[in-house]
Amino acid sequence: MNSALYAAAALTVGIGIAHSWLGERYILIRLFRRGDLPQLFGGTEFTKNTLRFAWHVTTLAWLGLAGILVAIAGDVLTARNAGLIVGITFAAHFLIALIASRGRHYAWIVFLAISVLAITATWR
């Protein structure tokens, strides 16, 4: 076990949480108060949801990287485990994109494909 890698994973989780919380509180909310946001798909709600998703998906990706660091630290990182971690991370991306956009932002299709491919390719 490598305590430095566990510390790096903990810091990755911490910076991800801080990124989402502080970004929501100090950047996104203020941005959404502006009256000049583009109107995509008939209004600003889709624009707001897309910006919010793009902001928070960064945190989600960092959580997946923290999972990789933990697997390395625990000396259990195999291609199979890495594929599973990546697959789970992109499955979460898929669900959030699908739900937040109500299926209108087509990134959910790509995220689902990445998830399925990463898991099936490494778990054969």
Beta bridge partners of 40: 43
| pLDDT for the residue 74 | 94
For residue 45, pLDDT beyond 90:
no
CA torsion, points 110, 92, 90, 83, in degrees to nearest 10? -140
Q: Does this model's pTM top 0.75? A: yes
Give the pLDDT band of residue 42 (cuts 50, 70, 90): confident
The burial of 79, by beta-carbon neighbours within 10 Å (0-12 exposed, 13-18 middle, 19 or more buried), is given as exposed
C-alpha dihedral over 86, 53, 55, 42, to 10 degrees? 150
The pair of structure tokens assigned to 92 is: 């979460």
Please determine, for residue 52, whether its predicted confidence score (pLDDT) is greater than 80: yes
pLDDT digits (tens, 9 = 90+) for 69-104: 999 999 999 999 999 999 999 999 999 999 988 888
